[in-house]
Amino acid sequence: MSTPLLKVRDLRKSYGALNVTDSVDLDVAQNSIHALIGPNGAGKTTLISQLSGQLTPDSGHVIYDGKEITHLSMPSRVKIGLARSFQLTSILPSLTLLENVAIAVQARSGSSFQFFRPAARDAALNDEAMIYLKEVGLADAPDRLAGAVSHGEKRQLEIAIALGTKPRLLLLDEPLAGTGPQEAEILIDVMRRLRGRVTMLLIEHDMDAVFKLADRISVLVYGRVVAEGNADHIRNDPKVRAAYLGEEEGDSRCC
């Protein structure tokens, strides 16, 4: 296992008497896809929110590339290479696909991009934005309005926006949520092609996708990591089976 790009140690977050993140330890290896799974209410999104800087933990440590970032702001984390996608797409629907990605490129580079001007006026920014649209399979019609594309394409666009910040670590919060089988396969292929170039921490309920993609899987139940390992280990772990299969046996999307 390669050197961890992200280390989490004894991370805790409570709301009153409810421990949503309960002494979590996690290592995410450089250039790996690390999946974080668990039943609804397990605390997955709360954990990701602490890693992205959206939420501040009560205690514990978040270490990125050897540096403590526990109390670093979300914009500061983006600047050092952390990017996050959300369960619900966070795009600008009245702008084109190209403009959505170019804004992310501008935010990272500090260029003078103004998205109300013709694209040709900002060729360097738009050329780079096109690279990321191509990465996710959306380069065929960059002038489409983001609000007019399919749900799956919005998910692809959200990944392209994240890539526009040039992340080293990409936090993906249920990228397949609400997608059909064909859309899901496109997104799985996007993540496969990014493997080895961008480290990914993936929250996902589609276990078929998790087993196809993940180098390592951590299982979160009631805010605690109860199991960790490769796909074969997780498939056969009794704690995982108790958490999921007793409720929805045979359902490949149960966790």
**Residue 214 predicted with pLDDT over 80:** yes
Q: What is the pLDDT averaged over residues 105-120?
A: 58
**Residue 86 predicted with pLDDT over 90:** no
Confidence of residue 5 (pLDDT cuts 50, 70, 90): very high
Whether residue 243 contacts residue 254, with contact meaning beta carbons closer than 8 Å, is answered with no
Q: What is the pLDDT averaged over residues 207-211?
A: 93
Q: What is the pLDDT of residue 57?
A: 96
Percent pLDDT > 70 in the chain is 88
pLDDT in tens, 41-83: 899 999 999 999 999 999 999 999 999 999 999 989 988 999 9
pLDDT in tens, 159-204: 999 999 999 999 999 999 999 999 999 999 999 999 999 999 999 9
Q: Where are the domains of the chain?
A: 1-81+167-255, 92-165
Confidence of residue 237 (pLDDT cuts 50, 70, 90): confident
Confidence of residue 90 (pLDDT cuts 50, 70, 90): confident
**Residue 124 predicted with pLDDT over 70:** yes
Q: How far is it, in rounded angstroms, from Cα 54 to Cα 85? A: 12
Q: Model's pTM, two decimal places?
A: 0.87
- Who wins on pLDDT, 69 or 237? 69
Whether residue 214 contacts residue 202, with contact meaning beta carbons closer than 8 Å, is answered with yes
How high is the mean pLDDT of the chain?
Answer: 87
Q: Which among 10, 36, 83 has a CA at the least distance from the CA of 220?
A: 36
Q: What is the largest CA-CA distance in the chain?
A: 59
Q: What is the pLDDT of residue 112?
A: 46
Reply yes or no on domain 1-81+167-255 having CATH 1.20.1250.20. no
Q: What is the pLDDT of residue 139?
A: 95
Q: What is the pLDDT of residue 137?
A: 95
3-state secondary structure the chain: CCCEEEEEEEEEEEECCEEEEEEEEEEEECCCEEEEECCCCCCHHHHHHHHHCCCCCCEEEEEECCEECCCCCHHHHHHCCEEEECCCCCCCCCCEHHHHHHHHHHHHHCCCCCCCCCHHHHHHHHHHHHHHHHHCCCCCCCCCEHHHCCHHHHHHHHHHHHHCCCCCEEEEECCCCCCCHHHHHHHHHHHHHHCCCCEEEEECCCHHHHHHHCCEEEEEECCEEEEEECHHHHHHCHHHHHHHHHHHCCCCCCC
Please give the backbone phi and psi of residue 19, each rounded to the nearest 5 degrees, phi first: -90, 100
Q: What is the pLDDT averaged over residues 12-29?
A: 94
Residues with Cβ within 8 Å of 93's Cβ and at least 6 positions away in sequence, in order, are: 145, 146, 147, 148
